[in-house]
Amino acid sequence: MTYEILSTDINEGIATLTISRPKAMNALNRQFFAEMNAWLSEFGERRDIKVLIITGAGNAFVAGADIAELKDMNPAQGKEISAIGQQTFARLEQLDMPVIAAVNGFALGGGCELALACDMRIASSKAKFGQPEVNLGLTPGFAGTQRLPRLIGLGNALYLLISGELIGADEALRLGLVQKVVAPEQLLTEALELARKITTKGPAAVRLVKKVCRQGLELDFKAGCLLETSEFSSLFGNEGLEGMSAFLEKRPAKW
């Protein structure tokens, strides 16, 4: 597929995926979802990619869904685009590799939902977050009502979802929506530094930590602990043996 909205740079096991629709502040449309699904099929299972960073070009991460495209949709078409968005972001969330959102500017509506589908979020101090769909007489459609309460708690999520209020990076950090806030010019440097740190860890262990945490959210505590035990034990005699041997021998692990 020819990518018109998405561009990819891969270096030292780190893929940086940039969203660029400059005239629409990177708003999400059908073309974006087609390209994102193609990207996930082409790159999502590559073992040479250890970490994915997603960012936006210009002053926006993603300023929302493309309202010009949504405006004339009927309920059936609205259901279809919601399903496409939810399925796409679920595929992103389910990648084995950790995904870091480097939020450089506006992350509103569908853009906030995209960030929520990532595993970690680093924000520029100029970033703005919000789910302002109620201002348009709509609700979030790409799983924002489900991921946001799970991430920041029901009360905080309902406050943002029902008020439509936008918040800055520092408030997002306080709520746990983002993990770190940095100066705009340091955003990609910080994201790459985190990604490089992750690439030095046991690759199977990193994948399994993500799997157990995400699947465990859908299980009761006891079932989650059983899942943890199963995946913990699977690394003995394999990657864990090399990691523990390297530790005892005071040498770098050979993953």
pTM here is 0.96
Q: Walk me through the domains of the chain, giving residue ranges and CATH numbers.
A: 6-199 (3.90.226.10), 203-248 (1.10.12)
- With tokens 């979030």, the residue in question is 140
Spatial distance between the Cα atoms of 68 and 247, rounded to a whole number of angstroms: 56
DSSP-based three-state secondary structure for 186 = helix
Round to whole Å and give the CA distance between 127 and 106.
Answer: 6
Residue-level pLDDT, tens digit, the chain, 255 residues: 899 999 999 999 999 999 999 999 999 999 999 999 999 999 999 999 999 999 999 999 999 999 999 999 999 999 999 999 999 999 999 999 999 999 999 999 999 999 999 999 999 999 999 999 999 999 999 999 999 999 999 999 999 999 999 999 999 999 999 999 999 999 999 999 999 999 999 999 999 999 999 999 999 999 999 999 999 999 999 999 999 999 999 999 999
C-beta of residue 112 within 8 angstroms of C-beta of residue 144: yes
From the list 35, 93, 113, 190, the catalytic residue is: 113
Q: What angle do CA 37, 39, 40 make, to 5 degrees?
A: 65
Q: Which of 35, 133, 190, 239 is catalytic?
A: 133
Asked if 12 is an active-site residue, the reply is: no
Active site residue 113: yes
